[in-house]
Structure 1
Amino acid sequence: MKSSNPVLTRLGQAADQQRAAGYGYGEPYPTTPGYAAPPVAQAMTIDDVVVKTVVLLGITGISAIAAWNLIPDSLQGPAWIGAAIVGLVLGLIISFSRMANPALVVAYAVVEGAFVGMVSKAFESFYHGIVLQAVVATFGVFFLMAMLYKSRVIRATPRFTKGLIATIGGLFALMLINFVLSLFGVNTGIRDNGLIGILFSVVCIVVASLSFILDFDQIEQGVRMGLPQRYSWTCAFGILVGLIWLYLEILRLLSYLQGSSRD
């Protein structure tokens, strides 16, 4: 079965190259005296992805707590910007790499954890209890999407995959344009607590939620294709990215709603 996911396709090609080089999955190998048997790479399982995801979430959470408590308020701005830039660079490297790199994935979790911790602290200082609400809502949405995928209510068809990837690209392009314009004092309204800002956040939350369907499909196909076990880190990375994006968008939407109720 050919995957419609370009990342998964690249991983599959890398795995095929390793098989061709002799890194198999239990295939017979020559028994000639003096012949060194090639290392056998175990194929990843869904349990592998679950364990790696829990590990990454734990690292992200610890990093967030540390940033919340250890970074002085006077350094929040530079640290916030630095973590955002480093996290973006690491995310792009991991996303476009042909090889799974656990060290980079763990580094991404640490950096993004620090970023999330500082953002959460800023929102909590204005809206007490908003962080807990956002965390509960984030995992509630995640488990709902997992149930919808498992029951095949939503499926990652080629059309769905292409449309969602295009939508995600469009949303991030809008965010980038909005950021650049804001540097010149232009306010588009998509990140304010007005109607446009609320609608944009709702769209982002819906799209971020649907992105889990692509992650679940990638995991399922990766297991079917017999990708090496270390690629479970890449799959866990995809879920972590979706959870962070969803959490930040829910946090922002809740701040809009609570801010409006105070007016």
Structure 2
Amino acid sequence: MATRKKKTAAIRIGVGGWTFEPWRGGVFYPEGLAQKKELEYASRQLTTIEINGTFYGSQKPATFVKWHDETPDDFVFSLKAPRYATNRRVLSEAGDSIDRFFASGVLELKDKLGPINWQFAPTKQFDAGDFEGFLKLLPTTVEGRAILHAVEVRHESFRDESFIALARKYGVAVVVAGDSKYPQIADPTAPFVYARIMGTEEGQRLGYAKKHLDAWIERARTWSTGGVPAGIETVAKSPAKETPRDVFLYVISGFKALNPTAAIAMIELLNKS
């Protein structure tokens, strides 16, 4: 009797941003490529990019239109939400900042709008009432378009079962910190997984050793079929429902010059299988 294969979801792999001088001159971008062509080029080597500029300030609607039009039909962006919404003492007072963000033109990305990453300062500690007040402000739809949310928490106090329960209650993903100094909280809490891996090294030709690239691809496959990979740290005693989840995996920080190289190597490994 044939064994039925587990259904899988999409796995997207990319980097943070696309404007980085050390990527030029043949390192990632071809020699002589015009800077205005960099997004067009990067989006054809990668399957997703996390936009960082939205963390620091608003972009014009025309900018989002331009980004949409320069990228392939099946490309997806994630966006870092504005720091003004997350870098505050009382999170439940972030409503105006959240509303302004969604009114700024982000919906011009249309079907290329992926998850929103709400990144918190490493000093921000978990307070259940405070954090639930924030999660209540995150819209599930805007102008009829479903919105995906991820929270990047970086303080040890978030390794708390009540935090995982809140994330599951509101269907918000907890960003998985890979190969970093930040606490790893790899519990699936949403219909997708959002991972940021930060361990590229200058001495590695592909940014990571081959065994580590293989390991991250295997983790991504496991997440996409609904499982929880071995060898990563979770918090909750009760497992998440086993269901296929889209995966967004970004190579961030580390030795940044090699981040696109590592991302492309993982895409190639994924395609071979």
After TM superposition, is the score higher than 0.5? Answer: no
What TM-score do the two structures reach when normalised by structure 2? 0.26
Structure showing greater radius of gyration is: 1
Higher helix content, 1 or 2: 1
1 or 2 for the larger relative contact order (CA 8 Å, sep ≥6)?
1
Q: TM-score, normalising length from structure 1?
A: 0.27
